[in-house]
Structure 1
Amino acid sequence: MTPLYYAISGVLVVWHDLLSTFMDPDGGATWVLSIIGLTLTVRALLIPLFVKQINSSRNMQLIQPKVKELQKKYGHDRERLAQETMKLYKDSGTNPFASCLPILIQMPIFLALFRLLDKHAAKGDSIGFLSADDAKSFGAAKLFDTIPITATFLRSDGVLAVQIMAAVLVIAMTATTFTTQRQLMSKNMPADALSGPYAQQQKLLLYVLPVVFAVGGIAFPIGVLFYWTTSNLWTMGQQFYVIRNNPAPGTEAAKAKAARDEAKAKRHGHVVAPEPEPEVKPKQQPQVRQQPKKQSKKQRKQSGGPRPAPKPNPEGEQQ
């Protein structure tokens, strides 16, 4: 954890020094805003991984019909099914584990900040770029002069304001986690991807993750709750932007974007011309050869009878 302590404390101290130019260096608001600045810095650095996560999640959704076909075809042979499924992932450029990268990278940072607040700042111990004076200031900082940012819901020392603040942040953290996952499933998943193992996994995470954070949140320091809630709000806003402007095909978000594009084109006077229908050529009727009318023997005599065929001359020309 030592490299993480240096990285986190370095970013935290830079934000604190910047905010201290016009705010109280020992104030709780200054240190909370420094934590929020740390969160924004970490999330900005994770944008490339987030884009990769979105693309991977989209590919996973789009190939679900093909996965179902493989399950029907090779359901009796688990080894062959696994081989064909991995081949499908490789051919489509999909990594089923890419969607977990942002949260996997954030967890060590989250734990490092937790220990920084819970162990070192609370005791005034220097660590990384956080000096002893900064650690003491960090550990003693209070919001509204009553809520220590190192306090937790379980360790509130009987201060009601601490429990209320912690409860509000835990609810906010849980609600933003649920909303972010729900937003992805309801807006950016095609109808045929809402069933099957992958969809069941997403539905499980939709309800399990908020419960895990709600139960664990009562033991998190106030400062850590600010970090995670801010990170969830960033994720929700970033995901909303991506889904709105680059939705997966065949989803509700894609239909909404098409309607917005059409309305925008009409406002600017650009009428979207419908696709021309293929020209259907009329079916040609077969030509019917007219048969000559039959003549009686009397009619043939009156007309002089059938005309004899011309005889070729010696040079091959017809007379």
Structure 2
Amino acid sequence: MHVWIQPIVSVLSLLLTFFYHIVKDWGIAIILLTLSVRCLLFPLSLRVARQQVKQAKIQEEIKQLRERYAQDPNKLMQETMKLYQGRGLKPFSMFTTFLIQTPIFMGMYSLFLTHGAAMSSVLIPWVISFSQNDAWHILPVLSGAITFVTNLIPLTSDFFVATPMNKRITMSLMIVPVFLFFMWKAPVALCLYWVTGSFWALMERGFYRTRKGKGLLNGTEGKRLIASKSHM
């Protein structure tokens, strides 16, 4: 494993050990560690979700631009970027969470690969050691199923128009096999981390469908809090 990953592995190891001393079970400790990481990343996740909502709202305008400048790719690019800037869209910012999670995932993989042999849990009784892969493939399949369902739930009603159900199903069917490929032979500890993260993503998607979640997505929740404080 690359040297630059080692500091991340050390921090994750300290946090995991801390949770283990509290709950006395490595499986539950991994779940708590995963939830802690996802809580810390929630502001970034919210930022990405807001960008996706803005993207969905301008799909009709994007379509009109493509029709208007079908014969002029350079003009189409200029007008598209102008539209993005006017609506506060930063396409590359949607990769921020992915880029941050990648070294964390690599750190988890290294941690579980080297220390997983000493870990086990009552949550996964069919596996002796967390360094082994899930011979029954229950966790990889569970993670794939949760990811599939999550991708079918739109963030807002605008996504029903921007991304029809059949297109979301097709995209999910393309994404899930990739998860299964990486998780099929991965250490059980890493699978448990991914299952927990997938479940968090599902709950997060459901939260965004609530009134408070919609307020956060549209930026109205923060404005409401500021307004309420100003009247105090």
The structure 2 residue matched to 1:174, chosen from 144, 153, 156, is: 144
Q: Supply the AA of the counterpart residue of 2:132.
A: A
Could you tell me which residue of structure 2 aligns to residue 222 of structure 1?
A: 188
Superposed CA deviations along residues 275-303 of structure 1, whole A, max 9, x for unmatched, are: xxxxxxxxxxxxxxxxxxxxxxxxxxxxx
The answer to which structure, 1 or 2, has the higher relative contact order (CA under 8 A, 6+ apart) is 2
2:173 is aligned with 1:207: yes
Gaps of 5+ in 1: 24-29, 122-137, 154-162, 249-319
Query: Shift of residue 184 of structure 1?
Result: 2.0
Evaluate the alpha carbon distance shift between residue 52 and residue 209 of structure 1 in structure 2; reply closer, same or farther with a 3 A threshold: same
The structure 2 residue matched to 1:140, chosen from 94, 103, 118, is: 118
Larger Rg: 1
SS in 2 for 1:2: helix
Gaps of 5+ in 2: 216-232
Query: Shift of residue 203 of structure 1?
Result: 6.0
Evaluate the alpha carbon distance shift between residue 66 and residue 168 of structure 1 in structure 2; reply closer, same or farther with a 3 A threshold: same
The structure 1 residue matched to 2:35, chosen from 21, 33, 40, is: 40
User: What is the identity percentage for the equivalent residue pairs of Structure 1 and Structure 2?
Assistant: 26
Whether the aligned pair in 1 keeps the contact of 2:27 and 2:120 (CA below 8 Å) is no
CA distance in structure 2 between the partners assigned to 1:188 and 1:15 by the alignment: 39
Could you tell me which residue of structure 1 aligns to residue 201 of structure 2?
A: 235
2:7 is aligned with 1:12: no
Evaluate the alpha carbon distance shift between residue 191 and residue 151 of structure 1 in structure 2; reply closer, same or farther with a 3 A threshold: closer
Question: How many residue pairs are counted as aligned between the two chains?
Answer: 206
Whether the aligned pair in 1 keeps the contact of 2:9 and 2:110 (CA below 8 Å) is no
Aligned counterparts, 1:1-319, within 5 A:
1-19=5-23, 23=24, 30-118=25-113, 120-121=114-115, 138-143=116-121, 144=125, 146-153=127-134, 163-164=135-136, 167-184=137-154, 188-194=157-163, 205-245=171-211, 246-247=213-214
For the aligned residue pairs, the C-alpha RMSD in angstroms reads 2.3
Query: Shift of residue 70 of structure 1?
Result: 0.8
SS in 1 for 2:89: coil
Q: List 4+ stretches of structure 1 deviating above 4 A.
A: none
TM-score after normalising by structure 1: 0.59
CA distance in structure 2 between the partners assigned to 1:227 and 1:190 by the alignment: 29
Whether the aligned pair in 2 keeps the contact of 1:180 and 1:236 (CA below 8 Å) is yes
TM-score after normalising by structure 2: 0.80
Whether the aligned pair in 1 keeps the contact of 2:146 and 2:199 (CA below 8 Å) is yes
Q: Supply the AA of the counterpart residue of 2:70.
A: G
Q: Supply the AA of the counterpart residue of 2:146.
A: T
CA distance in structure 2 between the partners assigned to 1:180 and 1:56 by the alignment: 18
CA distance in structure 1 between the partners assigned to 2:81 and 2:170 by the alignment: 23
